[in-house]
A = this chain, B = another copy of it.
């Protein structure tokens, strides 16, 4: 979880102090950083019950405030589905997540006690914004960020704005064309063989009993997973027309997988999508702290939007 290039302990007194919370199904990452997207300090807590985990976080932030002073803004980058509409009465509440004990949890209210503006969006939208501001998506009018880890999720930034509001993307749950040589029934508890059900780390492990890296480069799993991810990229290009697709998450770090995805994307698209603007497919620059720096990115937005 360390990322030396984005972790610094120099903290100018009186500077903007942005709090970031990356809420995940197995762990919560928290950190404090600046308006430049640089983390000053960070910590990690296991995801327990909502009550226990939120108490862990509050204790940690309380200690940071006691030590270094108040927070300028707080950004919460969370798993979903979640209500991302600040005008909604259920803003910040988790939706029908498979993480049952967290359904309906209010992620905003506990953190409003710090007297700082609170922003919330999906982990992947936040990561997309962070990659756009400080990472692999700089200068892109339209980009998509896909994370392929335990689950699969996607976010997007269009003209500098996250694709978010009354609802938000859930790209892991798109359907793709099944490969005839893949008889796995799918691992998504909701949709079975949606993209996440076929190509997430969970699906890989359920199908072959190991990660792609452990299976070795000759295993057919590499081509199968690459083809599903390439289809996801085609579908994203067909629908969102991004200039760049940024891939993050543990699975895509598998040696050779990115180039397999790129090759299969080209083969599937058959030049149709590259007439005027080829969508690059690249690795995330901020991973594995894309989500945590995403929290800083949305906290900075919230800070700037406060009147006065």
Contact = CB atoms under 8 A, between A and B. Distances in A.
Given A141-B165, A166-B243, A275 B96 contact: yes
A6 interface: no
Interface string A161-175: 101111111111111
A268 interface: yes
A142 B193 CA distance: 27
B276 A239 contact: no
Nearest to A243: B166
Interface in A251-279: 268-273, 275-277, 279
Interface in A144-191: 154, 158-159, 161, 163-178, 190-191
Contact of A96 (B154, B169, B171, B271): B271
A236 interface: yes
Interface stretch (A12-20, A82-90, A111-119, A205-213): A82-90
Contact of A277 (B167, B169, B176, B231): B167
A110 to B, nearest CB: 20
B173 A176 contact: no
A238 interface: yes
A81 interface: yes
A234 B175 CA distance: 8
Given A166-B276, A272-B173, A276-B90, A239 B236 contact: yes
Interface string A32-46: 000000000000000
Given A178-B177, A190-B270, A239 B169 contact: yes
21 contacts: A83-B276, A85-B276, A96-B271, A96-B275, A158-B158, A163-B240, A164-B241, A166-B277, A167-B277, A169-B240, A170-B237, A170-B272, A172-B238, A173-B234, A173-B272, A174-B238, A175-B177, A191-B268, A191-B270, A191-B272, A239-B240
Interface of A: 81-83, 85, 88, 90, 95-96, 141-142, 154, 158-159, 161, 163-178, 190-191, 193, 231, 234-241, 243, 268-273, 275-277, 279
